[in-house]
Every structure is written in structure tokens, then in C-alpha cells.
Amino acid sequence: MSVEEQLTPSAVSSITHDYTKRLMVFGGRATMEQAARIADKLAVDLGQVDLRTFADGEVYCRYNESIRGADVFLVQSTSANLAQDMTPNDALMELLVMIDAAKGASAHRIIAVMPWYGYSRQDKKSAPREPISARVVAQCLEAVGVDRILTMDLHSGQVQGFFSKPVDHMTAMPMLTQYFMDQVFDNDLVIVSPDAGRVKVARNFARKIGVHWAVMEKERPAQQVAEIGYVVGDVKGKTAVLVDDMIDTAGTLCAAAKTVLDEGADKVIACATHGVFSGPAYERLAYENSGIERIVVTDTVPLAPGAPENITVLHASQILADSIRRIFADDSVSEIFAGENQLF
């Protein structure tokens, strides 16, 4: 047979090409409820996967259905989940073995959906001989075969630079600002940045709501210890909204709340994407101890039992589902946020 005959259309017409794509969503145990909400928004069934921890503490994973050729979205915040007896390290290891199992099962693309990116605060060396742990996590994810990462409101944007794979950075800014626009307040609002590093966030937050903003001067004498100095801006007689990307032990937040109240603010409300709430956070944040009337967070981190009544949780599943839908369809993700998805 001549070369020309081999290259004729009839020579390849017998090969069947099926370009039908499949979207599958699986949840890790750290954020299984959020994964279920995302799957519901996407009108797909949550994938069946066997996840267990052996008696010696090792994590086990096996998919109970075929994922060959599918775009597999693995929803897992690398955070603690007391209800599942999981630490952030357990959640990270579970995500890694889920990625490896998906790769071995011939998934077409493997996308790690990490609403909360654990270790994101360890993004630089603050002292000699320290690791850059956020980079270590990125290297681990890529080493086991992840194709893409979807996350929300990173502590610092440069964490994206630790990846050679695409990173889609979502923000909860639209849903948080909409929440405050839908509320009725007795006093004028003022958006307060807890430190100079969040000035851009406070300014954009205030502009979207249509109110003024202020900034606080902060010193940090040691890790997880913060001292608030003074407020630059007018908060007297207003409802101050403290805006940050996360609340961990709540030491900074409570000190900031005390400062704005001392400066004459009538009420204090706190707002953050990630409610980590570790250690003594719940005790500190109770209204009688903190003076904070309301704490608004999203469900990127599962809420531990025993939360005080002044904590309000908003669901981020719609934003994450919209992002997943666009990634699957190879559409623009930034259009969801009008190109403003790098605000935190």
C-alpha cells in the first residue's frame, strides 16, 4: 500500500472517537458535607469512595466506581475535622492518596478543590532554618499527580507561585459583601482592616458596600500573639466590621475588637472567609468575652462542636460549584468575579 493510500480518510474512519466528557465529584472526610452541597449544585451524584483510617493511623482510599477518562474533582480542605477525628495532616495525607488512586485509575484530569489551603501561612522564612511549608504542600500535590488546584482566599497570593500547575484562586468577597448589603443596621458601617497587610481588602470591601474604611496598626511580638496599637480612621458611633481572610485562635481579632470599642465604635462585627477557630477561639469569641456582636465566616473549614451563638456560617458551595463547572467546560473562571478574584 502506498503512503498516499495509508493517509486517506478511509484509513482512519474505522476508529471511533468519543469526546464525551464526564464530571465526577468526590469528597474527603474533612469536608464531605461541603462536597455533597457542591455536587448538589452541579446536579451530579457525589462519587462513592471508601476512605478509612487503619488502627495504626494510616489512611486508606479506594474508589468504588470507575473514574477512567473522567475529570475528577476532589473536595478536601486540609483542615481539622473533630467529628471525623482528623487533623490537618490527616486531611492532607488523605487528599494525596486520593490523587494517587485517581491517577492509577486512569482519570483524565485530577483537580484538587481545596477551599482552605492548609499551611498557607507558612509561605516564607521568618527566621533562619525554617521551612517554607506552603511550598512543601504544593510539591507534594504535584508529585502525586494533581493536574489543577482550586482554592479560595489564600493567606497570601504568592502561594500560587509554588505551583507549576494551574491554580484557580476564588474569593468569598461577593457573598460576604452581599451579606452585609442585605442586612439592616442601626448605625453606619465602617470596614476596618486589622493590619496594613489587609488594607486592599478593606478598601475593596468598603467600596462594594458603599461605606468608609479604616486601618489598624498592629505589632506581633511572637507567633500567634498580636498587639493592636491604634485605629487610623473614624469609627466613633459606628458599627465596625473587622475584615480578614481567616480567624484562628482569635487573639488578634479580640484585641482589635477591644481597640475599636475603645475608640468609640458602637458595635463590632467580624467577617472572614476561613473560620479555623482553634485552641481557645470559641471561649474568646463569646460575646460576653469579646464584645463582638456577630462573627460571619464561610464553610471552607468545618465548624467544630460548641461554637458560640454569635457565629454565622455562609455556604460557599455555589461559588465553588460555578468554578468547577467552568473548569470542566474549559471556560473562564475569572468571569465569575468580573476578573476580581485576587482580593484577599
Domain parsing of the chain, residue ranges:
23-171+318-337, 173-314
pLDDT at 252: 86
Render 251-274 in DSSP notation, one character per residue.
Answer: HHHHHHHHHHHHTT-SEEEEEEEE
Q: Which of 335, 277, 285, 323 is nearest to 115 (CA)?
A: 323
The DSSP 8-state label assigned to residue 166 in this structure reads -
pLDDT at 344: 44
Buried b (16+ CB within 10 A) or exposed e, 137-160: bbeebbebbbbbbbbbbbbeeebb
User: Other CB atoms closer than 10 Å to residue 111's CB: what's the count?
Assistant: 27
User: Other CB atoms closer than 10 Å to residue 34's CB: what's the count?
Assistant: 25
Answer whether 64's CB lies under 8 Å from 43's CB: no
Q: pTM for this one?
A: 0.89
Answer whether 87's CB lies under 8 Å from 75's CB: no
Same fold flag, 23-171+318-337 and 173-314: yes
- Sign of the four-CA dihedral 160, 317, 75, 244: positive
pLDDT tens for each residue of 280-307: 999 999 999 999 999 999 999 999 999 9
CATH of 23-171+318-337, one of 3.50.50.60, 3.30.590.10, 3.40.50.150, 3.40.50.2020: 3.40.50.2020
Q: Which of 326, 338, 308, 304 is nearest to 73 (CA)?
A: 326
d(CA 72, CA 13): 30
pLDDT tens for each residue of 201-251: 899 999 999 999 999 876 655 665 556 577 888 999 999 999 999 999 999
d(CA 168, CA 343): 13
Task: For residue 170, give the 3-state DSSP assignment.
Answer: strand
pLDDT at 14: 61
CATH of 173-314, one of 3.40.50.1820, 3.40.50.2020, 3.40.50.360, 3.30.450.40: 3.40.50.2020
Q: Does 157 have pLDDT greater than 90?
A: no
The single residue of 208, 218, 238, 267 carrying the catalytic annotation is 218
d(CA 254, CA 248): 11
218 labelled catalytic: yes
User: Other CB atoms closer than 10 Å to residue 217's CB: what's the count?
Assistant: 13
Q: How confident is the model at residue 76 (pLDDT cuts 50, 70, 90)?
A: very high
